[in-house]
Amino acid sequence: MSVHSVTISVDTFDWTEIRAANHLAVDILKMGAKNKRKHAQEDVVKKDAKQTKMQEKTKGKIYKFYNCQLLRDHKLVKDNLYVRDGVIINPEKLFFEEKLPPDEQIDCKGAIICPGFIDIQINGAFGVDFSCDVDTIEEGLKIVAKGLLPHGVTSFCPTIISSKEDIYRKIVPKIKKVDGNKEGAGILGAHVEGPFISVEKKGAHPEENLRQFPNGFSDLIDLYGNLDNVAMITIAPELDRSDEVIKELVKRGISVSLGHTTANLVQGEDAIRAGASCITHLFNAMVSFHHRDPHLIGLLTSKFLTDRQVYYGLISDGVHTHPAAVRMAFRSNPRGFIVVTDAIPAMGLPIGKHHMGSQLVEIQDKKAFIAGTNTLCGSIATIPKCVQNLKKNTDCTTEQALDAATLHPAEVLKITDRKGTMDFDTDADFLMLDENLNVMATYIAGEQVWHQDWHPAASLLSRQMSKRVECEESAIKNNF
């Protein structure tokens, strides 16, 4: 967009001429913005048409992935993978009932194929803050969804930390549950972490935003509004009426996690019996293990919960949790381990200070702190790195490390009918990994959406340049 210059005679100083110049400049800016929106709409229409054409072209096509190791039923097996219309299909039915050969065969060159990674706790990334960027949250979700593809994340839960009521009312409705595609990872729903948590264990959550629920479940509705877009909620189980709140959330299909809490073991067991199924970032923002009362950490080995699986998110980034603690947790309850990043907006950004909600955080030495303190406020690690650390620090099998980032998060969200496994008739969201568990390619609905030769940093640079142009245009308008 270009702005035409208007010459104003200082000698005559004609106010009519000055006002005319102002009007002309504003009209030009408005016209530019209108054209920009028009072109953007046209681009969307063209992109949708291209996508539809591609879908029609590939509809019904059978893809065979061979020479690979598939993660199935907790084991890596040498087998072939068959995909049609975005779904993993049973080859026996294909050959013996339909009698159809594959339309295309892909040599995986010995790669590991596992389900796509699922991150159930991510506060933001690439400069986007899910708890703060109210006016640009929809654009921000797209940026993060796209940026996660190189890291093998095919689905995630945007996480909102303790915020004020108006923030929830504006942001939660915009976090729509959507399937992933080449434009980005799928969104499974929001993870609302707080504000019904302990003041003593608030961590990076602003104390003035914390709440209790003296009126029970109605207090949640009054604060959050509609819960249709919510997949998980973290609460402190020691709060009064927590059991009835947990039961109502579970009844509505929302997973409940326990965190930012001073709860003892008995209170934790009661919450699990009420329907809670997970612990938020184990070891962090909770009372430490004690031999007379292990508190929530004791849930990993509780003899009173043998009839149900207790899951726990753990930030195995090498910063939040000591390798010995990771080993202790994993060996106590390997089946419940869930790899989470707890990533903050600074993930993918350089060293320095960055905003997270109303907090100012500082990145230094691969760690994120509340600026001016020693309080950790989130991770800047990626899921693949956390998976690699888990395997390295616990000597677990490759299968166990991968299950912790795929199957287990899907189980806690109750979506294994479509995500988190390589079972027949589930979504063909999967990864190709090398023997060191580095991501070589990411597939969503059977379509390759990223491979290691791509350079996603270019999209981030493009976004930064776009923001710069917008600022310059705004400056021009303000000058007039």
Give every CB contact of residue 418 below 8 A, 6+ residues apart in sequence.
Answer: 426, 427
Rounded Cα gap, residues 480 and 464, in angstroms: 25
How far is Cα 332 from Cα 329, in angstroms, rounded to an integer? Answer: 5
CA distance linking residue 58 with residue 315, whole number of Å: 39
- Of 83, 166, 94, give the one whose Cα is nearest residue 131: 166
**Which residues fall within 8 angstroms of residue 457, CB to CB, at 6 or more apart?**
none
Provide the sign of the torsion angle of the four alpha carbons 348, 354, 355, 360, taken in this order.
Answer: positive
| 8 Å CB contact between 298 and 261 | no
363 Cβ neighbours under 8 A, 6+ residues apart: 346, 349, 350, 351, 352, 353, 354, 380
342 is catalytic: yes
Active-site hit among 129, 133, 243, 342: 342
Residue whose pair of structure tokens reads 């408005």 in the numeric block: 30
Rounded CA-CA distance 412/280 in Å is 12
H or E element: which one contains 394? helix 383-394
Q: How far is CA 240 from the centre of its chain?
A: 30
According to DSSP, residue 226 is labeled -
Please give the positions annotated as active site.
Answer: 342
